[in-house]
Structure 1
Amino acid sequence: MKIINNGNFAPWFRILLWAMGIALAAASYFLLSGIEEFVGVVVGMIVLATGTYAERANMLHLKPFDNSYEKARKSYETKVDEEEK
């Protein structure tokens, strides 16, 4: 079972992140108090935001967790750059 599939999180993992974020934020809000409540809600919102980010990237056919930037960086190298290394 792969977590990253085609440059984005797998569908089951995106749903899991979304559900875990909501559950963590809600549980922290209702069950904790003080600074623990604040930290729990913030962490829950970060997990929820990560799942939402990955889902929106999937809808737009973006690949946020891909390593294609390395291929692009290599295509801009010149022979002078390679000789200096």
Structure 2
Amino acid sequence: MKRIIALVLAFTFITALLWTVSPLKAVYAEEYRNGFSLVPDEYDSTGISTDTHFVLKTVNKYSLEQITQMLRLLGDIPLKITQNNANELL
């Protein structure tokens, strides 16, 4: 009986943890998250292409050097970042 109670409690805790960690709301690229918004230049109903350019917008004023230090991609993919205006980088 104790084993069944322990298993039920463990399952309940794991379910509660997963429920709080993964919210069930949709997230859109146009929304700011943590002060940043990353929006693709071109997209359609199938998604984005691998050669799509992105616009990084921020609510704070960061320099190009600060953004270059903060932004990383997995792998050996070089980034080409240009500053469009004070709060928008391409």
Q: TM-score range by the shorter chain?
A: under 0.3
Bigger RCO of structures 1 and 2 (CA < 8 A, at least 6 apart): 1
| Structure number having the greater helix percentage | 1
Please identify the structure whose Cα radius of gyration is greater: 2
